[in-house]
Every structure is written in structure tokens, then in C-alpha cells.
Amino acid sequence: MKVAVVGATGMVGHVMLQVLAERNFPITELIPVASARSVGKTVSYKGKDYTISSMEDAIAARPDIAIFSAGGATSLEFAPKFAAVGTTVVDNSSAWRMDPEKKLIVPEINASELEDTDKIIANPNCSTIQMVLALAPLHKKYKIKRLVISTYQSITGTGVKAVQQLENEYKGEQGEMAYPYPIHRNAIPACDVFTDNGYTKEEMKLVNETQKILGDKSIAVTATAVRIPVVGGHSEAINVQFENDFDLAEVRQILQAQEGVTVQDNPDTNTYPMPIYAEGKNDVFVGRLRRDFSQENTLNMWVVADNLRKGAATNAVQIAEYLAAKELV
């Protein structure tokens, strides 16, 4: 299996290589790809150094799979070029997610939709992935009517520049700013850019991607996405109104049975998900499960995951694993 990792020097690309190694993905030839200024440099994979290739050389090598984490513009330009030489692309940007011709995949939910003709496959947004993994089995059982979401998002979702900004501010040093305001000791209620309707792109991803992955446009979704000075992962307070009533004990059982979900929910021992413990792990952690007494058939939940792992790299690698296991590449 010849695998290209496009954006290998970025934060997600780095974690992508880690996850591929940890999960022993069957790579016979690794082709790390990055921008022109990184070509010729090296990245490490399983203790060995690999030279970074240019996009053109990687396409010429005709890899079986190319996992992209290099931004939307790069994906729009180069993913079709890889697909044209027979490579299956798993893309981590927002470029293809809402394209009606492209599948938007969280493997535990809808990998069975994939066919060998799917040459560009979209990896959902980080905040969407962790939420829908927890919601999918509940939707199946009780049917979701409406979601009200508040996110508390890690700065690693912005990238290395944001991590540097926080570190500088923590030390009281001046430096390049990833955000228009300080992030240390602050909360910025604007993830990504604002759209014409007053919501940010991040908030609209939670609306549109959720409906597409769960295959139900009737689900009403509203979201507020907030950036906080945390590095371990994204947290989400989710208010879920169902069509049908639920039993809280059964909700716990359903979530415990869901592959990729760990329930951490015991108020007596102060057990609940937190990003400091989610960091570096591949699961989605769910807790603070309680009935919303202000409205019928409504559940409150708290969902946390490492946004660089299940929110990005791990999900993409799981898609690649499915493709390999089902001989779709």
C-alpha cells in the first residue's frame, strides 16, 4: 500500500503520521508531501526519516491513498489530480464536505456508503465528528428533532500559530497573533469567519455536516462556537430534543455500546470528560448526561475529544483502514 500524506509538516499531518504508525497501517511506501518551502526536508515515521516530496512528484508516484490535511485551496486544486491517476483521496479540509457528489464519512456511522468509485472522500469538521459519533446511535433509537450546541474549542484547531500565541501571552512576550485578540485568560466567540447570516463558518459546519452525516435534513441545529485557551481537545455542551421519550439508563447503555465512545459520567466521584484527559486519545468522551426538565424528550450532554485525533487524523486513518479492509483501493 503506497500512501501519501499531504500536509505532513502541519499539526494534523504530524498526528496523522503518529496515528498511522500506532495503528500499524499497512504502508509499503510512505510519501510525505508538503509545500514547496518544505520539499527536501525530512519527517520521521516509525523511527525512519522520509524526504518530503513535491505535489507533482507525489502525483507521479500514483499512491493508492492520499490523506490530505493542507487546507481547502490546496485540496480543490490537487485532490482531483490525485484522483485522476487512480489515487483515493481522504481530505481533511472543508473543500468537498458539502459537495453532493462526495461522501462525508465518520467510519463508525456511515463507512458502508463507500464504494470503489469514491475517489475523493471528505473527512468532517472536528467539532462535528465528535458530536455525531455520540448522537448517531441516539438518533437511530429516539429520532433527533433539534440540537442546541455550545462549543469550547481548543486553539490547536487553529494551528501552530495559535499555540505559539498562547505560549507567548502566557510568558508575557510579544509575538505573531493568530487571533485578533489575546487568547490567554480569554474566550473568543468567533471560530472561523462570519457568514452573511451572522453565524460563523464553524457554526454552520455543525448545522450542515450533521444533517448530511446523519442523513436527515429535518434535524434543526443551532450552534455557538467559542475558542478557549486549551490545547487538549474540543468540548461541547449539547442539548438534544428527541421526537420520542427516552430512558436515561438506556441512553447510557446505548452510548456505552457505541464503538469509539467512552462514557465518563458519575457526579458522585466528579467523573466527567475533560480535554486535559482526552488529549492524545482516539475516543470520544461523553458525560454530564441528564434530562432537560424545561422541555419534554430533551437530553443534556457534554462531549469531549482530541480534535487533532478523532476530530481529524484518527478519523481519516480509519477511513483509509476501511478502504484497505474492503479492498476498495
- Annotated binding site for substrate, which residues? 153, 227
Taking every pair of C-alpha atoms in the chain, what is the biggest distance, in angstroms?
60
CA–CA gap between residue 233 and residue 192 (Å, rounded): 17
191 is catalytic: no
Binding site membership for phosphate: which residues? 97
Block residue for cell numbers 462549543: 151
234 is catalytic: yes
CA within 13 Å, CB half, 174: 0
Q: Are strands 65-68 and 88-91 parallel, antiparallel or unpaired?
A: parallel
Binding site membership: which residues? 9-12, 37-38, 97, 153, 227, 307
Active-site pick, 14, 139, 191, 234:
234
Any alpha helices (H) in 143-177, and if so which ranges?
A: 160-171
Active-site pick, 126, 139, 184, 191:
126
Binding site membership for NADP(+): which residues? 9-12, 37-38, 307
302 Cβ contact list (under 8 Å, min separation 6): 235, 236, 237, 238, 272, 273, 286, 287, 288
149 - beta bridge partners? 223, 238
Which residues are known catalytic residues?
126, 234
